Amino acid sequence: MGTIGNLKVAAVFEHYPEHIQKKLLFLRQMILDTALEIDGIDPLEETLKWGEPSYVTKSGSTIRIDWKKSSPHQYAMYFNCNTMLVDTFKELFRDIFSYEGNRAIVFGDNDEIPVDELKQCISLSLTYHSRRPMIKVQKKRIG
């Protein structure tokens, strides 16, 4: 796992319970690795949004990861609820993931992560803004 350059983000990771910290660091690495695999993506910034580790690129929609004390046996990857991203994930991977409304993919602390499918979700989010004009054109043709 790579070193976290943003000290505020590193501090948040340090406060997670150890078993959850490892799982969230795994999700973090998946996001970073997936971003490196995408041609033409703008640089990825690791920061905090709403106190949660967040991954931002101009070509895409922000991805956040977090664990909540109120749900101690689960953690999640959050997406912008004003997009159709989670609805798209539900269409593509209906029974593979658990979802929280239109904003998150939720994992139980004993779940095995479906890596290939999650990387596709991450890729769709990180390229969201660069794909939107294409999506609008397709909707006009259909409608």
Amino acid in the structure at residue 1: M
52-75 confidence digits (pLDDT tens): 999 999 889 999 999 999 999 999
**Is a pLDDT exceeding 50 seen at residue 139?**
no
Whether pLDDT at 107 is above 60: yes
Nearest to 58 by CA among 74, 87, 35: 35
d(CA 11, CA 59): 27
CA 141 to chain centre: 30
Residue with tokens 């593979």: 96
Per domain, the residue ranges of the chain are: 7-142
Other CB atoms within 10 Å distance of the CB of residue 53 = 25
Indicate the CATH number for domain 7-142: 3.90.1150.200
Q: Is the model's pTM score more than 0.75?
A: yes
Q: Look at residues 100, 113, 11 and name the one whose alpha carbon lies nearest to residue 53.
A: 11
Q: What is the mean pLDDT of the chain?
A: 89
